[in-house]
Structure 1
Amino acid sequence: MENNDILIRLRYALDIKNTDMVEIFKLGGVEVTKEEVLKILTKSNDDVDYEEENEEDVIKCNNKMFESFLNGLITFKRGKQEPKPGQPDRPQFSKESVNNILLKKLKIALSLTSEDMIDILDSAGITITKGELSALLRKVGHKNYKECGDKYARNFLKGLAIQYRD
């Protein structure tokens, strides 16, 4: 799943307005205009000719931009947190899967417990144990770390839409 697609689904699930998207990107350290946000939220078509013609109409969201958005979402939802002594001002970018980062950062931003996340996935028709979820939320290099596949990420966003939009 592409970062742009994840952003589109996340925006829908949490009912985030375009002006709030600009603010969230800004809180994450990325300056974008409302027009650029609309270009980021444009679904890219897989047709090669279409992409060549409308390349300037779509802005690809890279991993750093996406992670900055998620950091901004945390600040937007929970407020600015003062860094502890010895901690960097800006969070460092992770080298792990985008889907794992998505689950971790949304858990923080929305103040979700593991049970909440299991319920969200369950509402989308996915059954996951607490141990499996824990493996998805671990740091890369941990012996129990498991990379999050698109299936879990897609269904987590679907479950969020069910929970937050009903």
Structure 2
Amino acid sequence: MDNNDILIRLRYALDLKNSDVKEIFALGGEKVDAVDVPLILTKTPEPDDEGAEANIPLANDQLERFLNGLITFNRGLKPGNAGPPEVSGEHVNNLVLKKLRIALELTSEDLLDLWKLAGINVSKGELGAFLRKEGHKNYKELGDQLMRNLLKGITLNYRP
């Protein structure tokens, strides 16, 4: 799953407008022009698709800045905070899970319920492994299929 696809699904699930996406990027410390937002929010064209418009690929650090901005957009600035946090460079899916948990103020039970909405059963132990720091002995990478189903659960929950 590429970063643009994650952003496209999040935008739809949370019903964000292009202006909101631009503002969220700005809150995260990433400057994005209004004309670039639709190009970021398009899927990567297939190699044999000659008439398709090229998109702007989203790097991992740009996605992380967007997620940091989403936290600020939903919850407001943290008191005494000078600016957006530094980029961590963690595995993308685990990072998205952690940042969405903060931005949407989700508990572990809420996350398990979102997966259940999408038709997937994830245990508390698995969820704990996904939320651990990279390098911890029980750390586990979140796969693309589980990420897709989490985003599907968020969509079903926020846009029934």
TM-score w.r.t. structure 2 length? 0.94
| Cα shift at 1:20 | 0.5
The superposition leaves residues 50-101 of structure 1 with CA deviations (integer Å, 9 ceiling, x where unpaired) of 39x74xx4111000100000000000000001357xxx85422223210000
In the alignment, what sits opposite 1:144? 138
Give the Cα separation in 2 of the matches to 1:139 and 1:152. Answer: 18
| Cα shift at 1:151 | 0.8
| Cα shift at 1:47 | 1.9
- The answer for unaligned runs of 5 or more in structure 2 is none
Output the amino acid matched with 2:36: E
What number of residue pairs does the alignment pair up? Answer: 160
Residues 10, 151 of structure 2: 8 Å contact kept: yes
Output the amino acid matched with 2:119: G
In the alignment, what sits opposite 2:58? 61
Residues 70, 106 of structure 1: 8 Å contact kept: yes
Residues 68, 84 of structure 2: 8 Å contact kept: no
| RMSD, matched Cα | 1.7
In the alignment, what sits opposite 1:99? 93
Give the Cα separation in 2 of the matches to 1:119 and 1:19. Answer: 30
Task: Give 3-state SS (helix, strand or coil) of 1:34's partner.
Answer: coil
TM-score w.r.t. structure 1 length? 0.90
In the alignment, what sits opposite 2:35? 35
Q: Is 2:106 the partner of 1:112? A: yes
Task: Give 3-state SS (helix, strand or coil) of 1:47's partner.
Answer: coil
Give the Cα separation in 2 of the matches to 1:142 and 1:30. Answer: 30
Give the Cα separation in 2 of the matches to 1:6 and 1:58. Answer: 14
Give the Cα separation in 1 of the matches to 2:119 and 2:49. Answer: 37
Distance 1:116 1:58, change over 3 A: same
**Of the candidates 44, 49, 73, which is equivalent to residue 70 of structure 2?**
73
Instruction: Give the helix-richer structure, 1 or 2.
Output: 1
Distance 1:49 1:162, change over 3 A: closer
The superposition leaves residues 26-49 of structure 1 with CA deviations (integer Å, 9 ceiling, x where unpaired) of 000011122111000011122256
Residues 25, 69 of structure 2: 8 Å contact kept: yes
Give the Cα separation in 2 of the matches to 1:142 and 1:83. Answer: 30
- The answer for unaligned runs of 5 or more in structure 1 is none
